Structure 1
């Protein structure tokens, strides 16, 4: 019998301007962002839908991180458009 596995994570890809923002973050900010990216990859519905778009906006109040992203139709890839930490 195979082991019980949890839900499959989506692959996360950062595009411009997210990559530009990422380059400006220090180590602490990057660590906080990493935790948020993992949360989004596990549950892409975690963010709030931006009306009239495919985008989702997730703000983690505890870590002070904001990520704007969208998820592909099959939910296998999450594309991050913007990060703020």
Structure 2
């Protein structure tokens, strides 16, 4: 049986950034990055913060030239994307 992947959700600001992706290359690169994160939400590096909220993580794909900031819900079933950079 295959491992379950986390569902991807977007914050309002990330959804706006998503709307601004215009090239097929950008969309494809982001899609590959989101698949990697959904398969292993811990793949990103934690961003140090002095907060009691969810741990913000950063994943950078140097090959695809994509950077995503996100956090994972407590049950690891949803990844909320907070920021997208292509």
Instruction: Indicate whether the TM-score tops 0.5.
Output: yes
In structure 2, runs of 5+ residues without a counterpart are: none
1:41 to 2:29 alignment? no
Q: RMSD over aligned Cα, in angstroms?
A: 0.9
- 1:28 positional shift: 1.5
Alignment correspondent of 1:83:
84
Note the residue ranges of structure 1 that are not aligned, 5 or more in a row.
none
Give TM-score scaled by structure 2 length: 0.89
CA shift for structure 1 position 47: 0.4
When normalised by structure 1's length, the TM-score is 0.90
Runs of 4 or more consecutive aligned structure 1 residues displaced over 4 Å after TM superposition: none
Equivalent residue pairs, number? 81
Q: Which has the larger radius of gyration?
A: 1
**Residue from 10, 16, 20 that aligns with 1:20:** 16
